[in-house]
Amino acid sequence: MLNTPAAPASITVTPAARHAEGVSNDEFRAAMSRLAAGVVLVTAVEPPLDPDAPEAPAGEDVGMTATAFLSVSLDPPLVLVSLRTGSRMDELLEEQPLWAVSVLSESQRHIAGRFSMKGRVSDRLLFADIPYRRGEYTGAPLVGGALATLECRTEQRVEAGDHTLVIGRVTTAAVPSAEGGPLTYFRGRYRQLS
């Protein structure tokens, strides 16, 4: 009796899911990863659960790293941040119109990484050892050493696919630090300009 090798198991390759337009999620993600983006920390203060009850837990500082942030208009001064629909920040900014942005410097990669972790610990712990001051207008944390800080009030929310575009009017802007270059995000990694 001859020993014949078993036939190789057939391998089924599932084609990448394509949208009606023909592009797959992977193709779109790969193309957009070639666009360098600045990195910011968006912050806001969650209101207390029950503002009328002094014994109720106080509101908590909330923060998230964003790379989809841009200037929209000079007159009036408007900016836009893109938030994943249903994320904590999206839900908070649906209720709370005041928020802030810290433009992170190349030395603040650890802050960007900390606030972009999946399954992260509470925001209170994330802010614990980060130097910040409270914004005059929003009360939101503004990161020490950031290249620039902005305080904003939501003017408009636009649903766009699986994200919400939040357009905010800038109420205060400062350039507290001229040291170092910006933190950028390119090809899936935080980078420095060289």
pLDDT in tens, 21-35: 778 888 877 887 777
Strands 141-143 and 132-134: antiparallel
Question: 69 is written with which tokens?
Answer: 């942030």
- Give the pLDDT score at 13: 45
Q: Quick check: 9 pLDDT over 80?
A: no
Identify the CA nearest to 152 among candidates 163, 138, 134, 132. 138
Q: What is the mean pLDDT of residues 48-76?
A: 84
Identify the residue whose tokens are 């575009």. Answer: 165
